[in-house]
Chain A
Amino acid sequence: MAEIKNLSVLEAVMGKLNLLGARLIPAEKLPGGQALVLSKDKLIEGMTVLKQEAGFTQLSYLTAVDWMEKRKEFELLYFLHALSAAQRLCVKVSVDRDQPNVLSVSQIWPAANWYERELYDLFGIRFQNHPDLRRILMPDDWVGHPLRKDYPLTEEPVHFLERTAPRLPSELIPKKYAVVTAQNPAAPPAVPAAKPATADAAKDKPVA
């Protein structure tokens, strides 16, 4: 029942969306939803059609994934929700990793305001025409964008007990159980994320 409804909601505007270069892709693992790929240049036109003609009145969530090695781009994911038809839609937009500029949708859905600030803060994606593009979660003077894959996870020495020298938290975890690679805080920020190294480490571990 839900599936049929969904098709009719999208079918009505699919012609227009096709003209904008949008295409449906195999359903994302998303309850009650479908996925659509839209190009960056047609973002505003496509989103306006989706909101005003297909009835996706709510922007549930806006997030991004940094495909640093695989595709060298950021993937923006707009999760839209049509309340009347009880349907969801995931709109995927690719953004160049070196020139992460994209138009803001905060004029269409005011909820996007903070989501875009968050993505600017954590990924460094610059949203043009945004009313107030400032950092939101990190301090204003922070350098770098933490959720990028080339930003290392570091740690600071902590006082665990009185009258002892500060230690790194990862030093306290027995090597056998440590699955997280603690990186030296002094390491240069250009070090790529520890993913490949830790995957190997997990393999080498003796099976108890």
Chain B
Amino acid sequence: MITVPRPVAPPEGSAVRPAALVAAFATQLRVYRRAPTALLVHSVFYLMVTAVLSGLWRVAVAATGGTMAGYDPTAIVWYITTTEAAILGVRQRLIEDEGEEIVSGRIELDLLRPAAVFPLKYAAQLGEAGPKLICSIVVGVTWARLFGGAIADAGALALAGLALVLAVLVNVAAQLAMVALSFWLHDVKSTWFLYQKLVFVLGGMLLPLEVLPATAQTVAKALPFMAMAYVPGRLAAGHVELGLLGLQALWLVVMVTAAAVGYRVGLARMVRHR
């Protein structure tokens, strides 16, 4: 006869081995080493999108007398170039792909490894985003310098580089937090669709938040999406506002916590009720 201990929640968050996180990150780098054309395709796509959008915005700014909401033609090119780099670096269908893992039950495989699920997924996604971000920065700086001209404050650009990294960290964490909703909501496609549109508009990817009506601007600046695109764009456009980096750091903590808790609670629910 076996004694029956009381069931307790699986300790999802208790096993994070740094070497495993490094390995998860490095494994994605190896994928690029095997298939470097993926980075070439990404760079070409990024350049096309950036060229079209920044060209349109430069014409629009010029048509309104040379500045729009504090952005001159040079600043708007750097803004769009930077926001596109921040968003396109992250896997486009992350929510859909990872959500499908949960809905289909394939995530069970991850439970058969001695490691917490969320940190490994986070590290793997950052491994995928990192090289894309570096390519985007190289292509983007070249494009903005040639097409938009130089930004007067070089310090702002350095801060924008830091903000780009934070933007990707927040974006990936936020997307994984949305993925965790798949433990309860099984419609991952609509989750992804909604998230994408919010980032496009309220995140400031397609336009600086300053051009939005006052109320929409207030709402947008209170949401985490601004940390994913607007902040690095604003800094790259020459506005040295250190408080924006603080906001990014705050949203990073919030999103990582939300994703970690979401996975922990969702997995615990799955092993009990699935």
| Same assembly | no
Chain B residues within 8 Å of A, Cβ to Cβ:
none
Chain A residues within 8 Å of B, Cβ to Cβ:
none
